[in-house]
Amino acid sequence: MLKHIGAAMMEFEINMAEMPLGKLSKENIQKGFEALTEIQNLLDDTGNQELALRESLIVAASNRFFTLIPSVHPHIIRDKDHLTMKAKMLEALQDIEIASKLVGFDGDNDESLDDKYKKLHCDITPLAHDSEDYKLVEKYLLNTHAPTHKDWSLELEEVYVLDRDGEGNKYSRYKNNLHNKMLLWHGSRLTNFIGILSQGLRIAPPEAPVTGYMFGKGLYFADLVSKSAQYCYVDRKNPTGLMLLSEVALGDMHELKKATPMDKPPRGKHSTKGLGKTVPLESEFVKWRDDVVVPCGKPVPASIRASELLYNEYIVYNTAQVKMQFLLKVRFRHKR
């Protein structure tokens, strides 16, 4: 894990000499988000402020950001793309900070693996390869590779059943009261998973800028495996990734064909669905545990064509609408 964290820090261009892992703090990450939100507001505010004043405030906020999160290439953050990149970086750093505090990465830490596992407060049980659930997960993975993700394929290595302390209790209210429950994909960096397993999937904090979220700050899921697998950020040198299959209580969905940022869906709706132009074939869907839909059909053209989205996205704005069910260890096979 330490190797992967080091690689992530290099990818993020973090200056490890100025900010080693032990110095990574929740407070600095929060203040980093605040600096980015300030920059976002300044970038949005094109008419109300004198240009020179706006520029000096952007420079000051950028300098503050890079003082909090030292970089080997500090610069002035002048556009939304850079802003989004830095916000996503801070989200990943939140999980790295949790991991460093929870299991420790210094050489002096002589805790056993068993002690570290107990600190996760999450039961992780290997699933037998000949079990019905394993076969279903494998079918879902092999069937739902999207047509535009041709450069790599996925191979399932292991599946683990997850039971995070307290998550089932929180979810039960929505499980019992909302219809339309689905088993959906979520991919994330390997370095995020200690945070995810110990604290569950989390929504970006209030101090984070809203830029970069198609449908606002929420938990995002997909019904095509490769759509989510992109967010594992693996490479040829490190081709192994982790993915989640979560049960999501979607209820009535607010359906949209283009990016529409929001804090939550309209009254009477429980989730948002971005409608894709390619969808899993509905006649191949199966039910899991009686009432949870597994959309494991092969990708086909959708009946709606005029959408800005290639593939479906499902968003919930309350973490209690999600129960993590399976952790998958997958190998990416790059074709070129």
Is pTM beyond 0.85 here? yes
Distance, in Å, from the CA atom of 35 to the CA atom of 7, rounded to the nearest integer, reads 25
Are the C-beta atoms of 317 and 218 separated by less than 8 Å? Answer: yes
Give per-10-residue mean pLDDT for the chain (336 aa).
Answer: 74 81 84 92 79 88 91 89 90 87 67 86 96 98 96 96 97 95 97 94 90 91 97 91 98 96 95 97 96 98 92 98 98 89
By the 8 A CB rule, do 119 and 164 touch?
Answer: no
Q: Give the CA distances from residue 183 to residues 51, 100, 128, 295, in Å, rounded to whole numbers and listed in that order.
A: 49, 31, 19, 8
Q: State both tokens at 75.
A: 């610069």
Span 106-158, pLDDT tens digits: 555 677 888 888 999 999 999 999 999 999 999 999 999 999 999 999 999 99
In sequence order, what DSSP letters do the residues of 174-186 get, joined into one string? HHHH---EEEEEE
According to DSSP, the β-strands at 286-288 and 219-221 are unpaired
Of the candidates 329, 298, 34, 273, the residue with the CA atom closest to the CA atom of residue 156: 329
The CA radius of gyration of the chain, in Å to the nearest whole number, is 21
| Largest CA-CA distance found in the chain, in angstroms, rounded | 67
The three-state (H, E, C) secondary structure of 197-258, written as one string: HHHCCCCCCCCCCCCCCCCCCCEEEECCHHHHHHHHCCCCCCCEEEEEEEEEECCCEEEECC
Task: Report the alpha-carbon distance of residue 60 to residue 66 in Å, rounded.
Answer: 10
Q: What is the pLDDT of residues 270-314, one digit of tens each?
A: 999 999 999 999 999 999 998 999 999 999 999 987 999 999 999
Beta-strand runs (E) in the chain = 122-126, 152-164, 181-188, 219-221, 240-249, 253-256, 271-274, 276-280, 286-288, 292-294, 299-301, 309-311, 313-316, 322-334
Active site residues: 313
Domains of the chain: 2-102 (1.20.142.10), 121-334 (3.90.228.10)
CB 272 within 8 A of CB 315: yes
